[in-house]
Amino acid sequence: MAGNVYRLAVHPNHRRRGIARRLVSEAEAWLLGQGAKRVGAVVEQDHPWATGFWDSTKFVLEPLDLRYVRTL
């Protein structure tokens, strides 16, 4: 089983205080308790502050297999 982190965000006024790391740590603990063996994070490429955060963690970048979208 695996879990994913979607839309992790910390208000700009509160960044660089360890809040995101604590949120990820809590999510990992919860997922582990649910039996997950793997966790992923979906990050938009045009958010350098987000990619910078994930690059500083023990997560490794994996390309997505496929993503289908449709404009309505």
CATH for 35: 3.40.630.30
Residues 27-59 pLDDT 10s: 999 999 999 999 999 888 888 888 889 999 999
- Name the nearest CA neighbour of 23 among 1, 39, 46, 44: 39
What are the tokens at 64? 């997505």
Q: What is the pLDDT of residue 50?
A: 87
In a domain, 13, yes or no: yes
Q: What percent of the chain has pLDDT over 90?
A: 51
Instruction: Tally the domains of the chain.
Output: 1
In a domain, 69, yes or no: no
In a domain, 20, yes or no: yes
In a domain, 67, yes or no: no
In a domain, 62, yes or no: no
In a domain, 22, yes or no: yes
Strand intervals (E) in 1-72:
2-6, 38-42
Lowest mean pLDDT of 7-11, 14-18, 52-56, 66-70, name the range: 66-70
Domain that holds residue 41: 2-55
